Amino acid sequence: MKVLSRDFYERGTSDVALTLLGKILVHRGHEGLTRGKIVEVEAYYGKGDPASRASRGKTKMNEIMWGPAGRAFVYMVHAQWLFNVTTEREGVPGAVLIRALEPREGIKLMRERRRVMEERELTSGPGRLTRAMGITREHHGLDLTDPKSEIIITEGKFERSKIASSHRIGVSADLEEELRFYVDGNPFVSK
């Protein structure tokens, strides 16, 4: 499992988002190992992006978006943890929200955490995937480029011809550019 390097994340946010599709999110927690292939993401910029946590400037909650790329940015929305990865060079805010995974390993543990049996229901949405993967606020700030980190993202394979895009989901104001990217036809993509 080759862990993605800091250089991978120190690029434009939408480029990082696109190339995260097919990569593998891994959580090596005290309860066990869970892994899933990333099948849906959304890109968020800083000032000028009305849907971004960084649109109104730096706060204690979002300051990680200005720091080094490749860090876990975890925050709560509607009583659900959301898992993001910071992007861009230091000083430029950006993050990619991981919206959905295709479960690969630790499915029994995911079912226990989510209390559902239907595999499609485990990780098809940002709140579902954090519960299934056991990701919480305690993981905020983890360096995802450190091979010894509890949470990492590793290389994976994907056919670019299957990528589709749309506007971001659940935002009250969006940019003209389509910044949600997903694997077209994958049953784990959120609805």
**Does a structural domain hold residue 35?**
yes
Counted residue by residue, the chain has a size of 191
Which pLDDT tens digit goes with each residue over 129-185?
999 999 999 999 999 999 999 999 999 987 777 899 988 887 878 678 889 999 999
Q: Which pLDDT does position 109 carry in this prediction? A: 98
Q: Which pLDDT does position 166 carry in this prediction? A: 85
**Does a structural domain hold residue 1?**
no
**Does a structural domain hold residue 90?**
yes
**Does a structural domain hold residue 189?**
no
The amino acid at residue 106 is G
The amino acid at residue 184 is D
Specify the number of domains making up the chain: 1
Q: Which pLDDT does position 23 carry in this prediction? A: 97
Which pLDDT tens digit goes with each residue over 43-82?
999 888 867 787 777 888 889 999 999 999 999 999 999 9
Which pLDDT tens digit goes with each residue over 85-144?
999 999 999 999 999 999 999 999 999 999 999 999 999 999 999 999 999 999 999 999
176: CATH: 3.10.300.10
Q: Which pLDDT does position 2 carry in this prediction? A: 95
Which pLDDT tens digit goes with each residue over 18-48?
999 999 999 999 999 999 999 999 999 988 8
* Torsion sign across C-alpha atoms 140, 46, 49, 144: negative
User: Measured between alpha carbons, how far apart are the two ends of the chain, in Å?
Assistant: 30
Do residues 26 and 147 lie in contact, with contact meaning Cβ atoms separated by under 8 Å?
no
Give residue 174's region: left, alpha or beta (phi > 0; psi -120 to 50).
Answer: beta
**Does a structural domain hold residue 169?**
yes
CA dihedral (62, 66, 70, 73) in degrees, to 10, reads 0
Q: Which pLDDT does position 49 carry in this prediction? A: 81
Domain ranges, residue 55: 6-181
Query: Which of helix, strand or coil describes residue 33?
Result: strand
For the question of whether the overall pTM of this predicted structure is more than 0.75, the answer is: yes
The amino acid at residue 21 is L
* Torsion sign across C-alpha atoms 158, 96, 38, 40: negative
